[in-house]
Structure 1
Amino acid sequence: MTAAPVPDIEFRGVTKRYGAVTAVSGVDLSIPPAAFVALLGPSGCGKTTCLRMIGGFEQPSEGKVLIRGQDMAGTPPYRRPVNMVFQQYALFPHLDVEDNVSYGLRQQRPRLSAREISQRAGDALAMVQLAGYGRRKIHELSGGQQQRVALARALVNKPAVLLLDEPLAALDKKLRTNMQIELQNLQRELGITFVLVTHDQEEALSMSDFVCVMNRGGIVQIGTPSDIYHEPADLFVADFVGKTNLLSGNVAGRSGDLFEVKLADGSVISARGRKELASGEAVSISLRPEALRLSTPGQGGITGTVRNRIFLGSVAEYAIEVPAIGTLLATADQQFGQVDLFEPGEPVAIGFAPGAPLAFAGARDNGPKQRETKNVEIVS
């Protein structure tokens, strides 16, 4: 039997405190080699603290951080097989592009030859599509080009793990999308582990192989982007990741594997449950906008009135006011040349894709409780 590969990164019962504040609480995490992992969560959830503990900028108050099986306790950042791309890039304005990229190589002992340093810097710049930019000044570059310089500087030392601290936050939407694709391709070509910290759900879902959703210092769920989006572990994940409609209701019965849920307007819908639900129990229904089907009224079910229509090119979003329920968001694909079917003020009937509604116990509040998860392992 082939032995399981040693994880590139492993957290064993890691807790980090700052005085009376616990930033990270009892995290267990195992990341396999060559994975692209996103740490996703709201501000203050502990994701950046976890990244900094991997990089050696912070030490855990309890537990161990291991890189390729080696305990990193007391190991400074420059002695770890990792490099980091910061949100603000931290480039040296007085150095040109090549000198920025080669700075880390010049600090190595024993010293590398000037020829080898220049060659490796040039290779790193070519890797990020900046060949020929070596003698330009930093202020002469666009934001996207500066981001690539920071990336080349992090990769030139050939790290085992690359840490990305919201590196695309300062870029405009189109450039950010292009860089997301380039980072994906680069990670696959290099075959090293990338760990991305972000609060941008779209960025996490589009770039990573696995998403680690964090809240209140702990891990709530780990899975593929599809699992996280379509099979959220709890109400927090359903509400935080992507857009969703949250409807309140009570369990009215059961039909096979589905629960019948009575909504505030008296209508009843069938929903999957994340766990067993009792008759009469209060629940929250998560319903993704793309799962809603709009039609002309007259077939019964939920009806409402189109309040707004937002044209987004390939899709249109509708905000629909439903009496006793509130406003629901629906997304409809737009075929080329198609005339929009519904205008603001028009009545519509709302249906659902089979199995789309997902029921969670309890009503939504302003602070969903963290679901404790232990011994989390990503399986590649």
Structure 2
Amino acid sequence: MTAPSTNDIEFRSVAKRYGSVTAVSDINLAVPKGAFVALLGPSGGGKTTCLRMIGGFEQPSEGTVLINGREMNGVPPYRRPVNMVFQHYALFPHFNVEQNVAYGLRQMRPKLEAAEIARRAKEALEMVRLGGFEKRRVHEMSGGQQQRVALARAIVNKPSVLLLDEPLAALDKKLRTAMQFELQTLQRELGITFVLVTHDQEEALSMSDLVCVMNAGRIVQMARPQEIYDHPADLFVADFVGKTNRLSATLEADGTTLRLADGTALARVGKAASPSGAVTVALRPEAIELVRQPSGGNGQIAGTVTHRIFLGSTAEYQIKVDGLGDFLVTADHRSMQESDLVEPGERVVLKFDPGKMHVFPA
């Protein structure tokens, strides 16, 4: 007897081609039951193609897609234990809210009783906090409310997997943030697997248990959000997920000393030796402290402030360093006075721990 799968979704050596164009190449993916997974990447990275193969809207050219341990190749969307929330919601404008949510229930065979359909639709609406809106017309709803109607319609059939195709893209920033909390809460309450496609790194990091970073049709790194941010697998991940400063450098023969283009030597204390030679260094903006006077020691570079963007609790600075170019620095000003803000034109010192630099082959 075969043991039940511990994964809701599996891709085994999956590829998808459209004529001569390869959209997805040799994808191996395992999504644990009850996980909230974000497929993150730039346009054309392959994330939406993967989502559509899970939903059955596309079939793999090679390899196998499994849901709950069952092979899904050739199985149409309506026979899969999944539902999908589209970017533009795809609600029926001539239906009211209850009719939109109940639509899928009315297509089920054998047919459900009208009372059962009404009960389940009401239950789904209450779950997304829209109880009492059953008779409201779709055009009378705000963008956030319409998104919740689409969610209720997707969960009313109790799928094993819920697919979310950039569902927050049409919302303004404040509402998008509120809906991120709503989706997290809903996922915990339902206990089912959510797969979110997004190109918004903040959205992926803030909402998901696991982030799968994709580029050029391949998975570059899959890990927990903090691991993705703090320990990027390569320069693409370091550059795409969050903001970063990139520097050309040489890793000397001792494997721990970095020499920057202006000749500055930085000792990466406590870091394991790496192959020497030309490298590219990535340093997060928030890992740099701005000070007005040098204090001596390792990891200090002088520069001139060229731009400042005040963001309330933080400020972003662009610092020009001779021989190295421009640095982006994010400074936390929640405990500082306005007079402490560094002004454009000021000379400053960039202070950082070289051990926090990520080093990649050039």
- TM-score (normalizing by structure 1): 0.91
Deviations 1:301-335 (A, max 9, x none): 31001111111111111111111111111111112
Alignment of 1:346-365 (within 5 A): 346-353=346-353, 355-362=355-362
1:273–1:359 contact (8 Å) kept in structure 2? no
How far the C-alpha of 1:342 sits from its partner, in A, is 1.2
Give the corresponding residue for 1:52. 52
1:210–1:224 contact (8 Å) kept in structure 2? yes
1:233–1:274 contact (8 Å) kept in structure 2? no
Distance in structure 2 (CA, Å) of the matches to 1:108 and 1:102: 10
Amino acid at match of 2:267: S
Alignment of 1:77-92 (within 5 A): 77-92=77-92
Distance in structure 2 (CA, Å) of the matches to 1:327 and 1:317: 13
1:5–1:32 contact (8 Å) kept in structure 2? no
Alignment of 1:79-118 (within 5 A): 79-118=79-118
Secondary structure of the corresponding residue to residue 37 of structure 1 = strand
Secondary structure of the corresponding residue to residue 8 of structure 1 = strand
Distance in structure 1 (CA, Å) of the matches to 2:315 and 2:117: 52
Give the corresponding residue for 2:166. 166
Give the corresponding residue for 1:130. 130
Unaligned residue ranges in structure 2 (runs of 5+): none
1:272–1:359 contact (8 Å) kept in structure 2? no
Give the corresponding residue for 2:288. 292
Give the corresponding residue for 1:343. 343
* Match status 1:260 vs 2:257: yes
Give the corresponding residue for 1:307. 306
How far the C-alpha of 1:275 sits from its partner, in A, is 8.6
How far the C-alpha of 1:86 sits from its partner, in A, is 0.2
How far the C-alpha of 1:85 sits from its partner, in A, is 0.2
Distance in structure 1 (CA, Å) of the matches to 2:360 and 2:138: 51
How far the C-alpha of 1:47 sits from its partner, in A, is 0.4
Larger RCO, structure (CA 8 Å, separation 6 or more) = 1
Distance in structure 1 (CA, Å) of the matches to 2:122 and 2:355: 53
Give the corresponding residue for 2:14. 14
Give the corresponding residue for 1:277. 274
How far the C-alpha of 1:277 sits from its partner, in A, is 3.5
Give the corresponding residue for 2:326. 327
> Aligned in 2, Cα 1:12/1:144: closer, same or farther, shift over 3 Å?
same
Give the corresponding residue for 1:225. 225
Distance in structure 1 (CA, Å) of the matches to 2:290 and 2:336: 19
Amino acid at match of 1:266: G
Deviations 1:13-64 (A, max 9, x none): 1000000000000111111100000000110010000000000000000100
> Aligned in 2, Cα 1:274/1:136: closer, same or farther, shift over 3 Å?
farther
Secondary structure of the corresponding residue to residue 104 of structure 1 = helix
How far the C-alpha of 1:274 sits from its partner, in A, is 9.9
Give the corresponding residue for 1:212. 212
> Kindly, what percent of the aligned residue pairs are identical?
66
How far the C-alpha of 1:270 sits from its partner, in A, is 3.3
How far the C-alpha of 1:245 sits from its partner, in A, is 0.5
After superposition, the CA RMSD in angstroms is: 1.7
How far the C-alpha of 1:337 sits from its partner, in A, is 5.6
Amino acid at match of 2:121: A
1:306–1:318 contact (8 Å) kept in structure 2? yes
